Chains A and B, each alone.
Chain A
Amino acid sequence: MNCSINVEHIPDASEIAEARADMCVVDWAKRAIDTAHHENCGKSVMCRDGITQLAAILGDIVTGKGQPDDLALLKELAEVIATTGGCELAQKAAKDLLESLRRYPEEWDLHCRRKRCTNLICKAYFGVYCAPDKCQGCTACMKVCPVGAISGGPGMICVVDTDKCVRCGKCFEVCPHEARAKFGAVKPKLPEAPVPVGSFSGGAAGGARRSRRRNLG
C-alpha cells in the first residue's frame, strides 16, 4: 500500500529553518503530528497507532507532563515511522518532528524538563495578565473572555484569574490599549483585585520579558 491522501495538510519542514519569535518549534511539531492524527484513515499501523502515540507523548510534553526519557523515545519512534513506507501522511509528520528535534534540542529540553516555552506559545507555559500601567478600564476584554476569567469594571484596572484563563487570546485581539501581555516562569507584580486606573504603581510592563531573560539565563 502506498497512500498520500491528505499529505498536503502537513506543514513543510522549511517553516522551521530559522528560529522566529512568534512561533514555538515544539508547538509547531505538535501541530504537524496532530494534523496527521486528525487526517489519518486508520489503515496503517504507523499512522493509526504510531502517530496516535506521538500525539499522546507530545500532548504530555506541552502540558508539563513530559518525562525525562520522552525526547529519546520520540526520536526513536519518529525515526521508525519516518522510514517506514506506506503512509506519506505519517511519514511527513514524523519527519517534521525529527527536524524540529534535531535543530532545536535546547528548546525541547526546556519544554520537557523545565516546563518552559521560550516564546510563550505553549499554553501550559505562560499566563495572561493585564499591564496595570496601560489598562484604561474600558472592559472590552471582559466582554469577550469566554470563561469569565477577568474581573474589573469601568475605570478599573482589570485582573486575570490565571487558574480560570484558558489562554485563548481573545482579549489580546480586542484590547485597544495593548495592555494584554503574557508572563512565563515569574509572574510580575500586579494588583490582587481591580483598583481604579492610575492608583497602582507597583509594577511596570516587561515583567514577562525579565523573566524570560532569566529563563534563558
Chain B
Amino acid sequence: MEKLRLTVDGQVIEALPGQSVLEAALAADIYIPHICTHPDLPVQANCKLCVVEIEGLDGPVCSCETEARDGMVVRTKSDDLTHRRAVAMEFMLAGHPHDCTGCKSFLKCELQALMQNLGSVHSRLRTIRRTAIGINVDNPIIVREMERCIQCGRCVRACNDLRKVGAIDYGKKGDETYIATPGDLPLADVDCRFCSACVEVCPTGSLTDQLGLFRDDVPREQAIVPCQVECPAHIDIPAYIRAVEEGKPGDAVGIIREKVPFPLVLGYICNHLCETGCKRQALNDPLGIRNLKRYSVDNDTEQAWKEKYLATAPATSKRVAVVGGGPCGLTAAYYLRKKGHEVTVYDKRPELGGPMTSGIPAYRLPIEGVRKEIQLILDTGVKAECGKEIKNVAELKKDYDAVLVSVGVSKGRKLPLPGADLPQVYTAMDVLADSRAEKDMGYLGDTVCVIGSGSVGYDVARSLVRLGKTVNLTCVEQAGKLMADEDDQSEAPEEGVNILPGRSFEAIEGENGKVVGLRCHEVLSSTYDRATGTITEVPVEGSQTVIPCDSVIFATGQHTGLQEYEDFGIAINGRGYPVNDGFKTSVEGIFTAGDAITGISFVIKAIAQGRDVAQEMDRYLGGDGEIDETLVERTRNPEIGKIEGFAKQRRVEQELLPGQARGKSFDNVYRTYSCEEAKCEAGRCLQCDLRRDLQHVRVWTEYASK
C-alpha cells in the first residue's frame, strides 16, 4: 500500500492512507496526549486532549479525527495547545476524586499518567459534586466506582460497537450525565455478557475486576482466563468451548490435543481443576468444561487434526527409553517422538496405559477409547515393549541417550493388621486390574470389605457391586469427610454399596486360613500424627463388631514399589521414590516425573508432568524444548451480541443413568451431552479470552518522543 508522508513537529513520518494523524504519530513513536481514544474502538474525539495545529487550517483540531494527508505539516506543541489541554484536564478533574492513593488503579491509571504528563493539578476550578453515581457492586464480577469516571465513553463503545451488547450507555439524571445501564438496573438484568471488555478499556479506576477474581501469582495476561490457568496442562479452554458452540467438535478436539494426547480420558474422568477457576461460577455455576471435552471427543467424526498431530520433526538420532507407560510416560514419549527422537516405552504390564487401562473401571472410562488414544501415540513411531520389567535403569541407560522413569504408584499398600497376610486379603490395584481385564472374580467370595474412602476405594466398591458382590466400603473418616469426590459419594450408595464410615480396624478374622470377617469398632474421631506416627482416637464404647466377609481389599494408599528392587540404578529414598532435583535423578541423563515424584495424583497432573519433562529432556538432548503447536487455526468474533437472560442460564448437567440400572452394568454412568445441550452449555462461557485481543494502551512514558 502506498504510504503518505507528513511532518510532525519537524519530523517526517509515514502514514497509511486512512490513518488519523494521531494513529500515525503514535505509530511513529511520537506521543500526543489523549484519553478517549483506544486503538480497538471507534474514534469519538471527546476528550479534546489530542488537539494539534495543522498548517493551513484555522484553529486547532483533534488529531484522532483528522485523516493524515500527504504533505501535511502538524504541530503537537504550542502554548495555545498546552493551555487547551490543561483546561480540558481541569474540566475532567473538577469532578474527580482528588486522592489517587486509595484507588484500585493507583499507578496503573491512564488518567493519573496523563496528569503527570500535563502537570495537571486539582486547584482553581470549582469542585463538582456528582450525585447520580456511586460505587456499584450489583454483581460479583465488575466493580463500578463511578465517582472516578471521566465519561470518556470507552466502555460504552466497547459494549456497543465492539461487543454489540448494549448493556451500558450515557445516561442523564437532572443536568448530570453519567454512564448508566438501561433503567439503572444491575448489569445481570440488562443482559451484560460479563466479557469485561469495558473493564479492559477503562482508562481510570472506575471499572475494575472484583478483587479475588483472578490469581495474582501469575502474569495478568494469563490470570484473566482463569480456567486455562488452573488447568495443569493449560489447555486453551475458551477456544475449544467456542468451537463446540460453533458446532465444530472436531476443532475442539484438535485444540485440546495441542496440549494433551488424551482428550477422551480427560473428557471422561478428569477432576476438572479448570472448573474451580471458571469465572462464570461467580455468577452461578462454572462451565461444564470437562463434559464439553467428552462431548467433543464423542462427536469428532472427521479428526481433521490428525495429520499435523502425527507429524514428527526430522530424526535426531537420539534414543530415549521411557520406563512406565502410564499417562505421564506416554505423554512424554509422544512429545519426545514429535521432536524427532527415537522413543521406546517399557511397561511391566501386558498393556500400555497404566491406570487408564488397568485401574479406572469401565463404567467411568471406556477402554476402547483409551486404546485408540494410545494407538495414535504409537502411530507417531513410538515403540512399545510391554510385559518387560526394567529392574535397573542405569543398565538400560547404556543403550539410550536419555531415560525417563515414570513408573507411577502401581503397588497397593496394606495396613499392618493382624490377619492381613491371609490369602483373601488383596490390594485395590490387583482387584481393579483383574476386574478391568474381565477375569473371573470368584476368588473374592460373595461379600467383601473395602477399606479406604478415596476414589480408588470407590472404584473397587462400585466395580464389585456390578459383579454381584455384597460390598461394604468402610473407612476411618467420618461421614461427610470421605475423601472421594461428591459424585462417587452420592452415586455409590444408589448402586448398592454399603458405606460404613468412622471405623477403626482391629484385625482380619480368619478361620482355617480363610477370611471370615473384619473386626472393628466405631470411633468419634481419629487423628494421625505424622511426626510420631501415632494415632489418637475417641472410640464409641461397646461398638466392637465383626463385619462378616469373604475377602478384604485395601484401598489405603499406593507406592512405587521401587524399593523392592535390589538395585534400581538410581538413588531411591526411604519411601520408595526416586531421589530427585526437579525432574533430574541421581544419575545424569535419567529423569523422573509423574506420580513417581508427586505421589498419587490425577491423570491431568501426570500429563502436565509428562509435557514438562519432555521439554526438559528435549533440551538435554540438544533440542529447543518447544512442544507447543497449533493444530487448529483460531477465529474469535469480538461481536458477541446480546442474549436475553444470559446471566441467569444455569449449568447443563450430563444425564446420570438410574442407580439400580447402573449397579448392574459396566456401561458409562453418564450420557454424553446432546448437540443441543453442548451448545447450550458452551454458550454460557464468558469468553474470558476475548479480553486478550484488546490492545494495551501505551502511556506517555512508553514513547520515544513525548
Contact = CB atoms under 8 A, between A and B. Distances in A.
B223 interface: no
B46 interface: yes
A41 B170 contact: yes
Main secondary structure of the interface of A (DSSP, over half): helix
A41 B180 CA distance: 12
A83 to B, nearest CB: 6
Contacts of B44: 1, 43
Nearest to A50: B91
Interface in B32-48: 44-48
Interface in B85-101: 87-88, 90-92, 94-95
Contacts of A167: none
Is the interface on chain B under 10, 10 to 19, 20 to 34, or 35 or more residues? 20 to 34
14 contacts: A1-B44, A38-B175, A42-B172, A43-B170, A45-B48, A45-B91, A49-B92, A50-B88, A52-B91, A52-B128, A53-B126, A55-B175, A80-B84, A80-B88
A182 B91 CA distance: 38
Contacts of B172: 41-42
B48 A42 contact: no
A92 B95 CA distance: 23
A53 B125 CA distance: 7
A45 B128 contact: no
Nearest to A36: B175
Contacts of B667: none
Nearest to B64: A1
Given A41-B170, A60-B126, A83-B59, A46 B91 contact: yes
A84 interface: yes
B128 A49 contact: yes
Given A53-B94, A85-B61, A45 B46 contact: yes
Interface string A45-59: 110111011011100
A40 interface: yes
Contacts of B48: 44-46, 84, 86
A37 B175 contact: yes
A37 B153 CA distance: 18
A53 B128 contact: yes
Most buried by A among B51, B170, B178: B170
B91 A53 contact: yes
Most buried by B among A45, A46, A69, A84: A45
A44 B95 contact: no
Nearest to A39: B175
A51 to B, nearest CB: 9
Contacts of A60: 126
Given A45-B46, A84-B48, A85-B61, A56 B128 contact: yes
A57 B177 CA distance: 19
Interface residues of A, number: 29
B62 interface: yes
Contacts of A49: 91-92, 94-95, 128
Most buried by A among B61, B91, B95, B175: B91
A60 B128 CA distance: 13
A52 B95 contact: yes
Given A40-B177, A50-B91, A56-B128, A45 B65 contact: no
Given A42-B178, A44-B45, A84-B48, 11 more contacts: A37-B175, A38-B175, A40-B177, A42-B170, A43-B153, A45-B88, A48-B151, A52-B95, A85-B59, A85-B62, A86-B45
Contact of B87 (A38, A56, A80): A80
B128 A77 contact: no
Nearest to A84: B48
Nearest to A38: B175
B497 to A, nearest CB: 65
A53 B126 CA distance: 7
B575 interface: no
A15 interface: no
B124 interface: yes
Interface in A12-52: 34, 37-38, 40-46, 48-50, 52
A76 interface: yes
B696 interface: no
A82 to B, nearest CB: 11
Contacts of B3: none
A45 B92 contact: yes
B619 interface: no
